[in-house]
Amino acid sequence: MSEQSLPTLPMWRINHIVPSPEMLALRANGPIHRVRFPSGHEGWWVTGYDEAKAVLSDAAFRPSGMPPAAFTPATVILGSPGWLGSHEGSEHARLRTVVAPAFSNRRVKLLAQQVETIAAQLFDTLAAQTQPADLRRHLSFPLPAIVISALMGVPYDDHAFFAGLSDEVMTHQHESGLRSAARLAWEKLRAYIRGKMQDKRQAPGDNLLTDLLAAVDQGKATEEEAIGLAAGMLVAGHESTVAQIEFGLLAMFRHPQQRERLVGDPSLVDKAVEEILRLYPPGAGWDGIMRYPRTDVTIAGVHIPAESKVLVGLPATSFDPRHFEHPEVFDIERDENPHLAFSYGPHYCIGMAVARLELKVVFGSVFQRFPALRLAVTPEELKLRREIITGGFDEFPVLW
């Protein structure tokens, strides 16, 4: 394929829960495609399910936070000490072990009743608003923010501060000015975490910051790594779930029969959440996870040179007909749903149990509390936060 004819990476038509026509046309040519990225670099886009798993589990590929010198990570958080995507091998495994207790089955079970209480309080707050109201402001944003605050051991009253910094950190940073602002925001967030960790020395608790202090004292992590881990969890722990709540609601609004099934049979909530995750994996407002091969590799018969840019299109894998029957259909009773929403291989999402819990609580009760809940605008009028890696909408106005 000549340089002139090299296609630009197509965008998802996310409001409609289907790939764009351009994406479908490109995918028809196979599971791996040579494309031009918005940054101007050439590289490969992996849309096949099996091929994505192969890349994500292959140690020949560097993770997103360890790019070759020719490429600059999309955000300053990638490459920062303690951000799990900036480590690999034994170092990565060591750091995952440090944060794993915060996401253990015991902690998640203890969190479950608290999440239900938080959701019920937020439903009451939303119900007290003048209609139409912004569901993002009153539910989809505060719920994950409160939960991650409790899990980490930081005051929820600080959520507006750390959320603002989080947005700056997670903005696509192709321009030097944006990158400088993001770097400053990241350092402010790290300074905030450093202060809160110092507080835990005087008042330890059953939370992530206390766990991290213990790991530092035991020589399992450096202080800078611990701060990076905590700051990364604070960013990743609320941003992506906000978007999934909104995308999931949008899917239900656009498919009223599926919504009626869920209302009539609440036991379907687990499957409904998995279907939302399939169609809207974390970061669905963008296009996937970057990987960089150290050596020449061949995947599905496609030769990829060393030091290339390879985007694993997690949203695209959910439309692979080899693994999903009628993948374009939103079906909350789908039995086989082996999606890659939380990635695959050593870098799979460590907080997936908490994300699932939050989604199950919301979709298991929101339509009971608001039977007539609906968008106050057309889906096409919703404005995607495309500049933010984790996606979502600027506002999500609803009526009930």
DSSP 179-244: HHHHHHHHHHHHHHHHHHHHHHHHS--SSHHHHHHHHHHTTSS-HHHHHHHHHHHHHHHHHHHHHH
pLDDT number for residue 172: 63
What residue type is assigned to position 231 of the chain?
A
Cα separation, 292 vs 65, in Å, equals 10
CB 281 within 8 A of CB 313: no
Cα separation, 392 vs 286, in Å, equals 10
Q: Which residues have a Cβ under 8 Å from the Cβ of 349 and sit 6 or more positions away?
A: 282, 342, 343, 355
The CATH architecture of the domain made up of 14-391 is: Orthogonal Bundle (1.10)
pLDDT number for residue 298: 96
3-state secondary structure of 376: coil
Is residue 42 scored above 80 in pLDDT? Answer: yes
Cα separation, 215 vs 222, in Å, equals 8
User: Given its phi and psi angles, is residue 79 left (phi above 0), alpha (psi -120 to 50 degrees) or beta?
Assistant: left
Half-sphere exposure of 219 (CA within 13 A, CB side): 0
3-state secondary structure of 96: helix
Residue, of 1 and 319, whose pLDDT is higher: 319
CB 246 within 8 A of CB 139: no
Mean pLDDT of 336-348: 94
CA distances to 3, 33, 287, 296 from 7, rounded to whole Å, are 9, 9, 15, 22
Cα separation, 226 vs 228, in Å, equals 5
3-state secondary structure of 369: helix
Q: How many CB atoms lie within 10 A of CB 296?
A: 12
Residue, of 258 and 146, whose pLDDT is higher: 258
pLDDT number for residue 283: 60
Whether residue 132 has a cis bond before it, omega within 30° of 0: yes
Q: By 3-state DSSP, what share of the chain in percent is helix, strand and coil, each rounded to 5?
A: 55, 10, 35
pLDDT number for residue 390: 63
Residue boundaries of the structural domains of the chain: 14-391
| 388 DSSP assignment | B
- 71 pLDDT band, cuts 50/70/90, is confident
pTM, to two decimals: 0.91
124: buried, middle or exposed (CB in 10 Å: 19+, 13-18, 0-12)?
Answer: exposed
Cα separation, 121 vs 289, in Å, equals 35
Of 365, 360, 344, 351, nearest to 107 by C-alpha is: 351
Is residue 173 scored above 60 in pLDDT? Answer: no
Cα separation, 392 vs 386, in Å, equals 8
Average pLDDT, the chain: 88
pLDDT number for residue 2: 47
pLDDT (tens digit per residue) in 119-145: 999 999 999 999 999 999 999 989 998
Cα separation, 146 vs 119, in Å, equals 10
The radius of gyration computed from the CA coordinates of the chain, to the nearest angstrom, equals 21
Is residue 19 scored above 70 in pLDDT? Answer: no
Is residue 79 scored above 80 in pLDDT? Answer: no
pLDDT (tens digit per residue) in 234-293: 887 777 788 899 999 999 999 999 999 999 999 999 999 999 999 887 765 557 889 999
**Exposure string over 171-204, b if 16+ CB within 10 A, otherwise e:** bbbeeeebbebbbebbebbbebbeebbeebeeee
Q: Which residues have a Cβ under 8 Å from the Cβ of 361 and sit 6 or more positions away?
A: 112, 115, 116, 119
Torsion angles phi and psi, residue 292, rounded to 5: -135, 115
Mean pLDDT of 27-40: 84
pLDDT number for residue 385: 77
Residue, of 93 and 72, whose pLDDT is higher: 93
